[in-house]
């Protein structure tokens, strides 16, 4: 059994006698607990039919649940909210394991969240016991069938998603909220039809299982090439669409590859090792998902948009506008001086009780009113321009 931690490209090989707890502790615990600190995490088991995927994932899930609740207990300064959703992909149809009656579910593309499953139920988890109970319901709901190699063979891919949100209890000025998902995935096993004696329903299942596993293998192989700008066929199967963030995206991923020691399965074991070799070369880009980080991102976008809006006229027109404003201001000042002078002259003439030189009262009044009118219209114009300019200066600072 080999385990790959793609975040650090760690590889562990576990012999057939080692316990599932050891596999969890050395290969999956760190990844699983990342979700408590806002890092998306995925653990999945890959391998041929009857090689122990379900057995191992059951143990990994139990241990992860235990550790998650121990962490919550020892972190009283934070409030945790856990939600669980679960689905299976059976014959390329997505079904809600917490609400089978809802029928086939559609996959939608969300610009922010990526692929989402429409109408998938999310149950709020009360405590560890409740979580175990919900996981038990999912297991019971899953498609299982008897094959020549496994009397309880998983005929579908199962994904149990635990979404963990946490925030500091005390408001310390900075709202530090983490939000991340832990995906626990038990894939259906790859198999050869000749080995499983498949026919009828089993043959149809076999065809869907192998086709989606082939897409997964292709995606992993292409990602492992490390080439940029190449087409990665995530959309060729529902499994790879749903797992896309875990395959080269924003998540830490641990892959547990299971193999049978039987000589008759040597070809399948070689395929599994080839998958593991490619998978260990894939680099993910896991980030801490903080609620306030999202808000900052949103605000930054909004500021950028407003700046672009304000910059839409040619930058040169701003200097032009400034010159115009200065000219108009000078004109206003000059006119104000003239008005003052005229008023003063008028006062002197009134007091001397004689007609002003070269101008009669009507002429004076007209000139004064004209000055005032001009000033007023320019003020309105200036106020409008200044309003824009100040607005602009505020954004540019």
Ligand X SMILES: Nc1ncnc2c1ncn2[C@@H]1O[C@H](COP(=O)(O)OP(=O)(O)OP(=O)(O)O)[C@@H](O)[C@H]1O
Residues making up the annotated binding site are 47-54
Nearer Cβ to ligand X, position 52 or 245?
52
* Of 51 and 212, CB closest to ligand X: 51
Least distance (Å) from ligand X to the CB of residue 190? Answer: 8
Secondary element (H or E) of residue 182: strand 177-186
**Whether the Cβ atoms of residue 190 and residue 223 lie closer than 8 Å to each other:** no
Which residue's CB is nearer to ligand X, number 49 or number 244? 49
Instruction: Say which DSSP state 28 is in.
Output: I
- Give the nearest distance from C-beta 252 to ligand X in angstroms: 23
Among 102, 44, 61, smallest CA distance to 242 is for 44
**Residue closest to 212 by CA, chosen among 187, 181, 245:** 187
User: Going by C-beta distance under 8 Å and a sequence separation of 6 or more, which residues neighbour residue 29?
Assistant: 63, 64, 67
- Please say whether the beta carbons of 197 and 145 come within 8 A: no
Q: How far apart are CA 306 and CA 124, in angstroms?
A: 39
- Give the residue at shortest CB distance from ligand X: 189
> Closer CB to ligand X, residue 52 or residue 248?
52
> Tokens 């998540």 map to which residue?
251
Give the nearest distance from C-beta 154 to ligand X in angstroms: 3
- Residue among 331, 335, 338 nearest 382 (CA): 331
Shortest distance, CB of residue 51 to ligand X, whole angstroms?
4
Under 8 Å between Cβ of 43 and 35: no
How near is the Cβ of 109 to ligand X at its closest, in Å?
A: 30
Instruction: Output the known binding site for ATP.
Output: 47-54
H or E segment and range at residue 85: strand 78-90
Q: Which is nearer to ligand X, 158 or 246 (CB)?
A: 158
Residue with Cβ nearer ligand X (23 or 223): 23
Least distance to ligand X from the beta carbon of 234, Å?
Answer: 23
- For ligand X, which is the closer residue by CB, 153 or 166? 153
Q: Are 116 and 87 in contact (CB under 8 A)?
A: no
Name the residues that contact ligand X, by CB under 6 A.
47, 49-55, 150, 152-154, 188-189, 258
- Which CB sits closer to ligand X, 38 or 52? 52
Query: Measured from the CB of residue 139, what is the shortest distance to ligand X in angstroms?
Result: 12
Interaxial angle between packed helices 361-396 and 316-352, expressed in degrees from 0 to 180 and rounded to the nearest 10 = 150
What totals of helices (H) and strands (E) does the chain contain, helices first? 11, 14
- Shortest Å, Cβ 34 to ligand X: 25
CB-based contact 234:241 (threshold 8 Å)? yes
Please name the residues in contact with 216: beta carbons below 8 A apart, sequence gap of 6 or more.
46, 187, 237, 239, 240, 243
Angle at CA 281, nearest 5°, toward 276 and 282?
A: 100
Rg (CA), the chain: 36
Place of tokens 């219209």: 377
């Amino acid at each position: 059994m080999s385990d790959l931690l793609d975040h650090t490209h760690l590889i562990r090989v576990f012999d057939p006698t080692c316990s599932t707890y050891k596999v969890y502790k050395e290969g999956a615990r760190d990844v699983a607990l990342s979700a408590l600190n806002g890092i998306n995490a995925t653990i999945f088991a890959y391998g041929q039919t009857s090689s122990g995927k379900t057995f191992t994932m059951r143990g990994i899930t139990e241990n992860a649940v235990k550790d998650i609740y121990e962490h919550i207990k020892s972190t009283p300064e934070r409030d945790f909210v856990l939600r669980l959703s679960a689905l299976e992909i059976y014959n390329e149809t997505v079904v809600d394991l917490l609400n089978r009656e809802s029928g086939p579910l559609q996959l939608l593309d969300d610009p922010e969240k990526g692929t989402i499953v429409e109408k998938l139920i999310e149950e709020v988890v009360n405590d560890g016991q409740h979580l175990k109970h919900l996981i038990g319901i999912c297991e019971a709901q899953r498609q299982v069938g008897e094959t020549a190699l496994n009397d309880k063979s998983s005929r579908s891919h199962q994904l149990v998603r635990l979404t963990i949100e946490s925030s500091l209890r005390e408001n310390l000025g900075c709202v530090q909220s983490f939000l991340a998902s832990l995906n626990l995935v038990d894939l259906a096993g790859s198999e050869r039809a000749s080995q499983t004696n498949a026919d009828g329903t089993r043959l149809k299942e076999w065809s869907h299982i192998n086709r989606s596993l082939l897409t997964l293998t292709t995606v992993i192989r292409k990602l492992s090439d490390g080439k940029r700008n190449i087409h990665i066929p995530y959309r060729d199967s529902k499994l790879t669409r749903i797992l896309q963030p875990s395959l080269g995206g924003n998540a830490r991923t641990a892959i547990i590859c299971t193999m049978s020691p039987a000589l008759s399965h040597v070809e399948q074991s070689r395929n599994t090792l080839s998958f593991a070799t490619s998978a260990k070369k894939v680099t993910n880009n896991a980030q801490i998902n903080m609620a306030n980080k999202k808000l900052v991102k949103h605000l930054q976008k909004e500021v950028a948009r407003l700046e672009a809006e304000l910059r839409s006229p040619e930058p040169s027109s701003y200097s032009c506008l400034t010159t115009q404003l200065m000219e108009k201001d000078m004109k206003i000042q000059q006119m104000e001086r003239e008005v003052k002078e005229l008023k003063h002259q008028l006062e002197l003439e009134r007091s001397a009780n004689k007609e002003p030189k070269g101008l009669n009262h009507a002429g004076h009044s007209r000139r004064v009113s004209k000055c005032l009118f001009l000033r007023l219209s320019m003020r309105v114009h200036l106020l409008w321009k200044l309003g824009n300019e100040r607005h602009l200066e505020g954004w540019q600072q």
